Chains A and B, each alone.
Chain A
Amino acid sequence: MPARGTLVTATSDLEGVLAALPRARHRETSAYPIEGRFPSVALRPESPDGVARVLAAARDARAAVVPQGARTALTLGRPVSRYDVALDTTGLHRIVEYEPADMTVTVEAGVTLHALQARLAEEGQYLSVDPPPGDEVTIGGLLATARAGAWRGLLPGVRDLVLGITVATPEGTLVSSGGRVVKNVTGYDLHRLHTGALGSLGVIVSASFKVAPLPEATAMLALRCPDIQLAERAAFELRDRRLPLRALSLLDASTATTVGVETRAPATTVLAAFEGVPAVVARAERESRDVARRMRAAIEAVPPFTWSALRRRAALAGSEEQTVLVRLGVPPSRVASTLAAVGSGRLEAWAHVAAGCVYVRGASLTAATLLALQADAHAAGGFLQVEHAPAELRDIGDAGDLELTRTLKATFDPEGVLNPGRWGDDA
């Protein structure tokens, strides 16, 4: 988190500040590097209107803006082609409205997930998401990246929980869609379009969510299975018993060791987390032991640290620039074969079974390997997303229908103010 003192806070002379873009000094912007580049100016507006004013001024100055919150996912998508203004959203830090009995909350984009969860927990509630790398992410970042964690597929994801949104546009307006009621089909769901749009169509300034009661009880278990086949069988058996899972993951030996479960290849670890009323969680633990016995697996309780460590593996620190991290989406039945295809060399691989989400991480991932993994994923009806990699590998990732994407980008941001190039749109 950059110190506030290093920032130019948006003020009434903003136009002047932006007019001076080329001469702005690095000293003020050194906290906002993106892949070795620095912006000409860094701004931290403290209101949604302030964000809109920054965007309008940037458009007039033909400047490119990269919105950023906790700065944990700035390598998602293609590299930005221009970077003039760092727009720090952490100045938008209010929880606007929270009605526990309605189980809805409206927050500004710069609020951290940690701060939101802390407030919700006071009322016995939470937002059911666990994005990487941790709760330090901002709500704006959570939405813009739509990154999911181990809970996805078992609990609703952020796309399912967002009820409405307000975004600032390059025209300097604030645009809203949806609302703050839990069921609503009024108008086009722009809030879903902005979720996962990597800040390319507007800057999210606030959003409303549906929240849930905190579970009464939880249990977290590791089943160390002798090999991947038995691990896969164990995982599907746990799932098919309709136990109240909130996470069901498969970890290769190197990943398991990294997160504190000691194993050696070819052992594969099933990590399972359960939640619900105490009697159900107790039953889930009993049934898990039964499954473990039949799969010749050692079973043990794991601390919450194991999960937070796994969550952190799905992101990279600044010092790991050469590390490649990809996310594959495959049908759950293909998760184990995908892990097996990755092999147990110098790579780490793990998967969240219910969402068919497989992560592969390591410095030795080459373009050829990525293309092979992608081809297999496509054959199974899935996809590959490059989460972190040197620029030359980032063209490999899938990005949906590019024609519609470019049309929408040109419609909402014709001057290319917002994150130009993220979708290969600034060629």
Chain B
Amino acid sequence: MGAPRTHEVARGTLPAMSTSQPTLAVLVDELTRALGKSSVLARPEELIAYEYDATIERARPDIVVFPASTDDVATVLRLARKHGVPVVPRGSGTGLAGGAVPVQGGVLCVLTRMNRILEIDVRNRTATIEPGVINLQLQEAVATHGLTYAPDPSSQRVCTIGGNVATNAGGPHTLVHGSTVNHVLGMRVVLPDGRATFLGSRVPDAPGLDLRGLFVGSEGTLGIATEIVVRLVPRAEAVRTLLAIFASIEDASNAVTRVIASGVIPVALEMLDREIIRAVQHSRDVGYPEDAGAVLLVEVEGLRETVEQQSAQVIEALRAAGALDLRIASEAAERERLWEGRKSAIGAIGALAPNFYLLDGVVPRTRLPEVMRGVEELSARYGFRCGNVFHAGDGNLHPNVMFDSMEPGATERVLALGAEILRLCIEAGGAITGEHGVGLEKRSYMEWMFGADDLEAMSRIRLAFDEAGLFNPCKVLPSGHGCASAHSAELTHHLATPGVYV
């Protein structure tokens, strides 16, 4: 039945491991002439700040550039390609999978200077923005028009929309509204060979292949978005936030299923376990009972009538699931207080241990109770404390494993624990990443979810966009020559720093 299969994964990731100094010098010179002196960094002391993202994976770029326009980006890609030098795109560097770490050096293309909101079209409920716009800035800019941009990753004060596009970012409010891909209508992109094109349109369902849908979530491996048209949604007339206290994480997990079974899909359904509650209370009193096993934050929104009826249904479901206590807030300030514990959770946990390892798995939400029990048992077996704060409504877990990397062997054991937890997610019918991405971190786990034919198809996508294999190499897909040394580095450290968001 046809020719033997060719595994072209390798061909796609064959670039030289490092670029020669004379080549780099020529490239720096050409980039400086094209973009201007203030847009190109190449001195080692200037490059240090760009060698990592929110993982502590490190690799120093040879050159950092700050393009200001689509033409600049195209120039950067064309020049780098001409000299056979890898290019890695980067936004604010808040990624949690090492996607912006230049593991083979080369040019790091930092998009933060392209930070203009080009248009807010209230009548058509769209905004056109450059990739360096910060998520929260966009939300604030459209709020005055009664609109909002729905995806709200917890890093939204810092992260860029370009980065959100790359990772198909989620957030607490994507339960109803969907992830970034559901909100991007079209994009101007520069492909790895320097050609600019437009994917999608200003309205949904453009004819032709949905290259827009393929590009969003491709983790910066298919090109660079330089202008993004996003969909805005009207702000709700009424919002109500409920905080429910449970004796155990299992009760709270069952409550998640009960709430959804009541026919209500809340806009957010977030869970914090005992470890997190204590950490939060320890750093600041947000009114969580320290003896609680778990708290659920539930938010419903819509017209007043909808909110009335749905919050009644949610309350009934929470009580039936054994909620020990319920707090309800409708005013913005009160709601903000209920959210405070959730929003400060990661910062608080940072104080508990020298290091923590943040995981990102997904399971069908009905499997949450057993999977959470499994996470607890595995952590105990490995001898680590583990706190859970996560998007329970979409079954997207975020175990935070606390440890001390100075303790001999601890890092290796933490990574082994992380791998076992992700295996548990897959066995429950889930996936290895719900919103952070595969990046560098989880490439070697891809084979757990996908067969050789699936990965072959994905590597062909990559080749179709980047035949030279020089664009953000060694990310997303497993294996590949020239990535071997990066791969061993990859296994040593993926420890989140206190600056991470979930």
A404–B366 touching, CB < 8 Å: no
Q: Which of B260, B434, B454 has the most CB of A within 10 A?
A: B454
We find that the number of chain B residues with CB closer than 8 angstroms to chain A is: 92
Among residues of B, the one whose C-beta sits closest to the C-beta of A57 is B1
Q: Name the distance in Å between B194's Cβ and chain A's nearest Cβ.
A: 13
Using A102-B364, A193-B213 as known contacts, say yes or no to A185 and B434 having CB atoms under 8 A apart: yes
Contacts of A385 in B (CB 8 A): 207
Identify the stretch in B53-61, B274-282, B331-339, B459-467 within 8 Å (CB) of chain A at 4 or more residues: B459-467
Find out whether the CB atom of B214 lies under 8 angstroms from the CB atom of A283. Answer: no
Chain A 46-65 residues near chain B, CB threshold 8 A: 53, 56, 59-60
Nearest chain A CB to B264's CB is how many angstroms away? 8
Whether a CB of chain A sits under 8 angstroms from the CB of B181 is yes
Chain A CB within 10 Å — which of B195, B236, B457, B462 has the most?
B457
Shortest Cβ distance from residue B174 to the other chain A in the assembled complex, whole angstroms: 7
The residue of chain A having its C-beta at the shortest distance from the C-beta of B467 within the complex is: A407
Q: Assess A400 versus B211: contact at CB under 8 Å? Given A157-B204, A242-B234.
A: yes
The residues of A that contact B265 with a CB separation of less than 8 Å are 212-213
| Contact in complex: B204, A355 (CB < 8 Å) | yes
Q: Known: A101-B260, A172-B2, A186-B431. Is A357-B213 also a contact (CB below 8 A)?
A: no
Knowing A176-B454, A186-B449, A189-B213 are in contact, say whether A280-B302 is a contact too (CB < 8 A).
Answer: yes
Stretch at the interface among B69-77, B121-129, B376-384, B409-417: B121-129
A270 to chain B, nearest CB (A): 17
Once A331-B124, A332-B123 are accepted as A-B contacts, the answer to whether A56 and B306 lie under 8 Å apart by CB is no
Q: Which chain A residues in 379-413 approach chain B with CB under 8 Å?
A: 380-383, 385, 397-401, 403-405, 407-408, 411-412
Q: Which of B178, B306, B431, B462 sits near A280, CB closer than 8 Å?
A: B306
Contacts of A103 in B (CB 8 A): 260
Given A212, A380, A399, which contacts B207 in the complex, CB threshold below 8 Å?
A399
Q: B243 in the interface, Cβ–Cβ < 8 Å?
A: no
Tell me if A179 and B199 are in contact (CB < 8 A): no
A122 CB to closest chain B CB (Å) equals: 15
Tell me the bound Cα distance from A382 to B126 in angstroms.
Answer: 13
A175 contacts B by Cβ under 8 Å:
yes
A405 lies within 8 A of B208 (CB): yes
Q: How large is the interface on A (under 10, 10 to 19, 20 to 34, 35 or more residues)?
A: 35 or more
Contact A404 B464 (CB under 8 A): yes
Compute how far the CA of A146 lies from the CA of B205 in the bound complex, rounded to whole angstroms: 8
Residues of B within 8 A of A153 (CB): 204
In the assembly, what is the distance between CA of A355 and CA of B138, in Å?
22
Judge whether B365 is part of the interface by a CB distance below 8 angstroms.
Answer: yes
**Residues from chain B with Cβ under 8 Å of A160 in the complex:** 178, 181-182
Of B363, B454, B476, which one neighbours A177 at CB under 8 angstroms?
A: B454
Contact B214 A189 (CB under 8 A): yes
Task: Please state if B209 and A181 are interface contacts (CB–CB under 8 Å).
Answer: no
A46–chain B nearest beta-carbon distance, Å? 19
Which residues of chain B are near A187, meaning CB under 8 Å? 438, 446, 449-450, 454-455, 458, 476
A156 to B175 Cα, complex, angstroms? 12
A193 touching B210 by the CB < 8 A rule?
Answer: yes
Contact B450 A176 (CB under 8 A): yes
Q: Which residues of B contact A244 (CB under 8 A)?
A: 302-303, 306
Q: For B178, B208, B260, which residue has the most chain A Cβ atoms within 10 angstroms? A: B208
Residue B436 at the A interface, CB < 8 A? yes
Can you list 13 A-B contacts (CB < 8 A)?
A53-B1, A101-B260, A157-B205, A159-B210, A172-B2, A187-B449, A189-B214, A243-B303, A276-B302, A279-B305, A329-B201, A356-B124, A383-B206
Ranked nearest first, the 8 interchain pairs of A and B with the lowest CB-CB distance are: A400-B208, A192-B213, A356-B203, A279-B305, A381-B202, A385-B207, A399-B208, A183-B394
